[in-house]
Amino acid sequence: MKKSVRIFSYVLIVLVILFYILPNIFNTREEKAFSSEARVEKAMAGFDILHVGDSTNVVLSEFYDRGPFIRYLFGKHYRDLWSREIKVPVLHLDTVHGGLEFLEMGGGQQTVSAEFRSHDGYTYTLRSVDKDQAQALPLFLRYSAIRPLFRDQAAALNPFAALIAHQLEEKAGILHTQPRMYLIPYDSTMNETPLYHVAGRVMILEEEPDSTWVGNIAFASPQKIISSKEMLSGLSSNELTADSLEYLKCRLLDMLMSDWDRHGGQWKWAVFSNSTGQSICRPIAMDRDMAFYQFNDGLMNKFALLINNKFQSFDRSYGQVSGLAKNSAELDAMLLKNIPLRAFTQQSLELQKTFTDTVIQSAFKAYPQGIYDEYGHKHANIFKDRLHQLDSIAVEFYKLTKGNRKP
């Protein structure tokens, strides 16, 4: 008995060393990639605003550049995009949009963000392109061997997704923010708080649809802009009516781009009054981090999909539509429950007409030139294949919104 207890104790100690201690000792690569201090020092040395100019060459992240074994186990993803040098414009806060003033830090668990206000009163948000997925882990796992694995899976994100999605949303005629990618230089005149969090990062700058944008043509001159929570409350009290057909168009475009993360926090709602005085809200699409996702190309990832099918990839096949609709189930149920099948098929046909070959090719030219040469045509062709299937996907989506009843 004592021998068994001793063996168990030794095994437990070894497991603790392997699972908790070693990952926090031999983590130079991690520390270099995610240390704010190291990033700020690098920004001071190479991206000082006094010397960097209007554009510069950067590598988005070297952390995801892995060898064949890791690629086999955990996927090729977009590792080549993250580790390739690209040219991006440098953000000059004193001139962009007439000058921006820092308001506060924001963001979710994985994204670093900061809010700014322009001199004419409009709110903008800076959002980090790279994510720290370890922040989504429970605290007891955040210092374990699970942490670098979770961080590694951010390589499944397409870092240029928001730029391409913007082009497609524009052509589809839906309300959306207009993201621009910038390198944030080291600027000693910047407020110390944002300087520590954003200097040296490549980030997306876009409008933050809030009350400051009421009446602005960027969002069709709305009378109000509200959150999804406010919109759902207004629907429940019959104070608001949602433009469900436009929301349906947005959702079909989500599926075309394989953007599976479209929960309520990814939308704002522009409120208008119609000729009868009724308040109608239209969706404003935001936050395209998960568009053109690539996850299912690693052995371990295929097992993960068996547990949670929401991580659908941008491939010629749609995979599981139920996974694409999982995070948006609440909104879909509320806004699409009374929409007939013919509306689903009609919206899919309209998108098929909208996205001509010329429009699609133009949209994917949002990739930086060197990236476009390798990925632009490939992804445009995948998008075309998905577009051809959209009418049948719309029927499947309809069934999901109706509890899988036959149409």
Task: Please indicate, yes or no, if residue 171 is contained in any of the structural domains.
Answer: yes
Task: Please indicate, yes or no, if residue 406 is contained in any of the structural domains.
Answer: no
Phi, psi of 270 (to 5 degrees): -90, 125
> Which pLDDT value is given to residue 359?
98
179 in Cβ contact with 33 (< 8 Å)? no
Task: Please indicate, yes or no, if residue 164 is contained in any of the structural domains.
Answer: yes
Residue-range definition of the domain harbouring residue 330: 2-401
Which 3 state secondary structure label does DSSP give 31?
A: helix
pLDDT for 405 beyond 60: no
pLDDT for 262 beyond 60: yes
> Which pLDDT value is given to residue 31?
86
DSSP assignments along 373-384, one per residue:
IIIIHHHHHHHH
Nearest to 62 by CA among 96, 25, 100, 29: 29
Region 174-188: mean pLDDT is 97
Q: Where are the beta strands (DSSP E) in 164-252?
A: 175-176, 180-183, 202-207, 224-227, 241-242
Nearest to 161 by CA among 176, 173, 147, 149: 176
> Which pLDDT value is given to residue 406?
39
166 in Cβ contact with 176 (< 8 Å)? yes
Q: Average model confidence (pLDDT) for the chain?
A: 92
More confident: 106 or 329: 329
26 pLDDT band, cuts 50/70/90, is low
pLDDT tens figures, 43-87 = 999 999 999 999 999 999 999 999 999 999 999 999 999 999 999
Q: Which range among 134-138, 204-208, 352-356 shows the weakest confidence by mean pLDDT? A: 134-138
Region 203-220: mean pLDDT is 97
Q: Which range among 7-21, 134-148, 187-201 shows the weakest confidence by mean pLDDT? A: 7-21
> Which pLDDT value is given to residue 407?
37
Angle at Cα 324 formed by Cα 311 and Cα 320, nearest 5°? 80
Tokens representing residue 109 in the block: 């668990």
Task: Please indicate, yes or no, if residue 142 is contained in any of the structural domains.
Answer: yes
Task: Please indicate, yes or no, if residue 43 is contained in any of the structural domains.
Answer: yes
171 in Cβ contact with 359 (< 8 Å)? yes
pLDDT tens figures, 369-401 = 889 999 999 999 999 999 999 999 999 999 999
323 in Cβ contact with 309 (< 8 Å)? yes
Region 17-30: mean pLDDT is 72
Distances (CA, A) of 24 to 18, 136, 145, 309, 313: 10, 18, 8, 31, 32
- Report pTM: 0.93
pLDDT for 1 beyond 70: no
pLDDT for 286 beyond 70: yes
125 in Cβ contact with 205 (< 8 Å)? yes
Q: Which range among 16-25, 113-122, 391-400 shows the weakest confidence by mean pLDDT? A: 16-25
> Which pLDDT value is given to residue 138?
84
Nearest to 165 by CA among 153, 152, 154, 177: 177
> Which pLDDT value is given to residue 137?
84
Region 231-245: mean pLDDT is 95
Region 31-50: mean pLDDT is 94
> Which pLDDT value is given to residue 274?
84
The rounded distance, in Å, linking the Cα atoms of 118 and 125 is 11
Q: Which range among 104-108, 230-234, 318-322, 387-391 shows the weakest confidence by mean pLDDT? A: 104-108
136 pLDDT band, cuts 50/70/90, is confident
Task: Please indicate, yes or no, if residue 373 is contained in any of the structural domains.
Answer: yes
User: How many independent structural domains does the chain possess?
Assistant: 1
> Which pLDDT value is given to residue 251?
98
366 in Cβ contact with 164 (< 8 Å)? yes
Helix%, strand%, coil% for the chain, nearest 5: 50, 15, 35
Give the position of tokens 């309300």.
175
309 in Cβ contact with 327 (< 8 Å)? no
pLDDT tens figures, 267-278 = 999 999 987 889
Task: Please indicate, yes or no, if residue 292 is contained in any of the structural domains.
Answer: yes
Task: Please indicate, yes or no, if residue 293 is contained in any of the structural domains.
Answer: yes
The rounded distance, in Å, linking the Cα atoms of 298 and 278 is 51
